[in-house]
Amino acid sequence: MDTATKLEFIQALPKVELHMHLEGSLEPELLFEIAGRNGLKVPFASPEEIREKCNFTSLQSFLDLYYEGHKVLCTHADFKDLAYAYFKRVSVTNLRHAELFFEPQEHTVRGVKMEDIVMGLTEGCELGLKEFGITSELILCLLRHYDVANMMDTLKAALPFKQYIKGVGMCSTEIGYPPTLYTEVFQFAKDNGFRITSHAGEEGPPDFVRQSVEILGIERCDHGIGMRSDPAVVKLLADKKIGVTMCPISNVLLKVTKSIPYSPIRQYLDAGVMICFNSDDPSYFGSTYIDENYEAVEKEMGLCVAEWVKIARDAITMSWVDDAERASLLAEVDAVCAKYGVAV
């Protein structure tokens, strides 16, 4: 397959995104629009100034700017518009399904109601399905910089809206916050029927990934870069069929890894770990959504066609769709392969 045809094939593959923070898709123009209608002042002169500040030296330098953006989101309409804008942007990428993080603690601490957050996002997701045919689920993502009591209060406040929330995850600063701190929180989430994932090994050591698997009981590992130095942890994820939701562009721009080829993509593929590529917080990374992440990996690494097929299928396998939707999505992959003469 020549280069142009290969790129066309990669674009044609049906995509599933499993690691995308809705607040991280708040483009600067929408941030200013929402701030204006809410009568809020922002510490930036223009959308261009926000983009100029997106030159990060670490995860924490990103988080400082990222949480500033949360402050404009106040109403049901704000959260609806946030979700809808994401679906409109990715409607051109052959995205079929998305499982999307949202971070209520940074909003409820300002007095925003859980109902407005969840139901606003849900309305935006419903519009994404109606207008663009993209199915989705919401994942409540807890923040490590809040204490365990706050996490528990947040989960309890979300229980009345459980039918709209598929899973629970965890993110934010990792160093100094080992998974062992959160056993009670994740047990509560599991007891209440939520699916479980967590950011682990983004900046933390391999043992944080191991603890997340063996103590928290995660079903997916978000980022997982840090386990690269411990083959036993890599094997643990392969053996337990726990997929890793990798974010290639994010990991480079936040200095988690030196470059896309230096990231453990090749290591994980060779070890039989399921991986998929995702956009993480695209509006803060040069508006690089799932399609740009696929393109960046291909440009930098030139994976073979069979590996691209595996990545597309692994994303579907790792997702929390029901059996009927999973079968339909896998059939779409097969149909694209057949169109391009790729053996399944």
Q: Which positions are catalytic?
A: 202
CA gap 188, 168 in Å, rounded: 10
Strand order in the sheet with 195-200: 15-21, 95-102, 135-143, 167-171, 195-200, 220-223, 243-246, 275-277
CB of 15 within 8 A of CB of 290?
Answer: yes
Which of 70, 13, 68 minimizes the C-alpha distance to 44? 68
161: which DSSP letter? G
Give the distance, in angstroms, between the CA of residue 285 and the centroid of all CA atoms in the same chain: 13
Helix (H, G, I), strand (E, B) or coil at 112: coil
Contact 77, 120 (CB under 8 A): yes
